[in-house]
Amino acid sequence: MRIVKDAEQRKDEILTAAERLFASRGFDATSTNDILDAVGIARGTLYYHFKSKEEILDGIIARIVDDCARKAAAVAYDRSFPVLERLRRTLMAVHLEGSAAGFVMEQIHKPQNALMHQKTQAKLAEKINPIITDILKDGIQESLFQTDYPEETVEMVMLYANTVFDDLQELSPELRPRKVAAFIYNLERLMHAAPGSLAQVLGPLF
């Protein structure tokens, strides 16, 4: 008997199968036929949900980032912890996990995938920046930080961090700690935080 599944369930199955195939075989080596076989659907069903393999990858990126944002929000809004601890826990939660996420990170750093990299960073900014901004606002209320532009401050800081520290592992042993120290030093002054307060929070993340 033919099993009929709702659109979201079928879409999720396609993304899950594609994640597994992309992670194990690579994006270029995986064909739409491979995805069809893995899910057990007709080509028309696949194209009903996704017009191309690239669009499937966009869906995978969105799903990974959404999961990251859910984890970040869960700790960011737990006000049983102090603001700085919430900030530390949130930043710890903001990283892409799993084999598919590892594949995505590998792919977006390839020169030919600059657009994919841009899409991932834009999606992360859309989902994560408001969460961190809310923590910053709480810190302002508690006089831990001071700025009239919390949204713009987070936007600038995250943009810089995502640009400079995107390939942190490729920095030389001499340059890496200097970049980290300079980032924290200037961030404390940008946010008018007590000297050394953010070093305790951000230092271990690097």
Quote the pLDDT of residue 1.
Answer: 41
Q: What confidence tens digit (pLDDT) does each residue in 146-168 have?
A: 999 999 999 999 988 887 776 55
- Does residue 180 register a pLDDT over 60? yes
- Does residue 4 register a pLDDT over 80? no
Quote the pLDDT of residue 5.
Answer: 63
SS3 annotation, 23-82: HHHCCCCCCHHHHHHHHCCCHHHHHHHCCCHHHHHHHHHHHHHHHHHHHHHHHHCCCCCC
Band of residue 184 on the pLDDT scale cut at 50, 70, 90 = very high
CA pair distance 22, 56, nearest whole angstrom: 10
CA pair distance 34, 21, nearest whole angstrom: 8
Cβ count near 17 (within 10 Å): 20
Quote the pLDDT of residue 105.
Answer: 67
Band of residue 177 on the pLDDT scale cut at 50, 70, 90 = confident
Quote the pLDDT of residue 134.
Answer: 97
Q: What confidence tens digit (pLDDT) does each residue in 13-66 have?
A: 999 999 888 878 878 889 999 999 999 999 999 999 999 998 998 898 888 889
Q: What confidence tens digit (pLDDT) does each residue in 97-146 have?
A: 555 566 666 666 666 666 667 778 888 899 999 999 999 999 999 999 99
pTM of the model: 0.78
Residue 24: phi and psi, rounded to 5, are -90, -35
Quote the pLDDT of residue 2.
Answer: 45
